[in-house]
Structure formats: C-alpha cells, structure tokens
Amino acid sequence: MDLLAALRARRLLAIVRGSDPDAALATVLALAEEGITLVEVSLSGRDALDVIAKARAALGPDAPLGAGTVLSADDARAAHEAGAAFLVTPAVSDGIAAGRELGLPVLAGVMTPTDILQALRLGADALKLFPAGSAGGPGYLRDLRGPFPDLPFVPVGGVDAQAAEVYLRGGAVAVGVGSPLIGDAADGGSVAALRDRARAFLDVVRAEDRA
C-alpha cells in the first residue's frame, strides 16, 4: 500500500477506538459506506485485532485499513497478521522499524523537531503530529513547516471539522480524526449520527480540494 498517496488522495484518516467490538466493526463499515475509506483501528480498543480481521474480511484485500496505537514490534507483527495494511504510532516507537521490516508503511507519531528527524531515520512514510491541539494547533503546524516545508504532516488530536479545514488549508497532507467524527458509535452509540458527522467532514475535505 502507498500510504502517502492514500493520505494525499483522501485527506481524512478516521480513528476508531471502541469498547464494543461489534460496534467498532459496524463503525468501520459505516465509514466506508459513507466514503471515508482510510481508517485505522486503534489497538487500545477492545479486541481490536479481531475487529481488524473482520473488517479486512468484509472490506476486501485492497481496503486501506490500518492499525493504530502501535507501540512495539509485537504490536506491529500482530497487526500485520490481523490484516492491517499500514501502521500508526503515537510516538517514535519500535513499531516504526518493525513495520518497515514487515513491509508495512508507517504513519509515525511526532511532536518535536527531534521526533521528526528520528521518525524519518527509522523509515516513517508520513508524520502524525500528535497531540496537535495541545501542541499549539494550526499555529504549531505552521511553525514546523518553516524548517520542514515539504514533509507530510497529519495533525491528530482535537481535530474537529473547523480545525480540519484550517489544518488542510495550512499545508497538512491530511488530518486524523477520532472522537469528533466517531463520537460514541464504536461504543454502541448511534450509527446514524456517525453517518451525519462523516458527511460533514467529507464536505470540509471536498471544499478544501476545490479551493
């Protein structure tokens, strides 16, 4: 999978973390039906590996389905076996090098310039700026793009629809969105409300693509 190309094309990465495995799976499938096909299932959710395996079976071999919260080489291997096509880490972790060894692209979590350089040396395909909101929001992304103007940043953390618009306009290759998009759907909440939020986020992405 070409993760960077997928990020550039879709501009939106959905982050599913649920306490109810059946609801988490239904969330992934509903997002795909609404057109949000680039999805990571966080390994911190309940039975996340089983959710990934079932989602892979339902969506087919080419769906851009990944595993998030990959902290270790063991996490990377387990995610690969479950069917993840890419990995996402919250920080510069052993999961980056392990992903590369497994042939999986990696969106690596970074916050500082030092993190950025370390993640690139380990072979990260793109850089998850996390937690973006707490780090300073769009202004911090702008500051980082001064010394690193051409790197593919994906802000994650506190990204609602309004912030997504600002980040994308400010040079982010994509945004990663968890609770502002997913809400409580992955815990057994309303899938209909999830679909409404998905359409709202897609409207933002499409408007930025037309700008």
In the set 33, 40, 81, 208, the catalytic residue is 40
- Helix H, strand E, coil C: the string for the chain is CCHHHHHHHHCEEEEECCCCHHHHHHHHHHHHHHCCCCEEEECCCCCHHHHHHHHHHHHCCCCCEEEECCCCHHHHHHHHHHCCCEEECCCCCHHHHHHHHHCCCEEEEECCHHHHHHHHHHCCCEEEECCHHHHCHHHHHHHHCCCCCCCCEEEECCCCHHHHHHHHHCCCCCEEECHHHHCCHHHCCCHHHHHHHHHHHHHHHHHHHHC
In the set 34, 81, 101, 128, the catalytic residue is 128
Cα–Cα distance measured from residue 6 to residue 125, given in angstroms and rounded to the nearest whole number: 11
40 is known as an active-site residue = yes
128 is known as an active-site residue = yes
Show which residues are catalytic: 40, 128
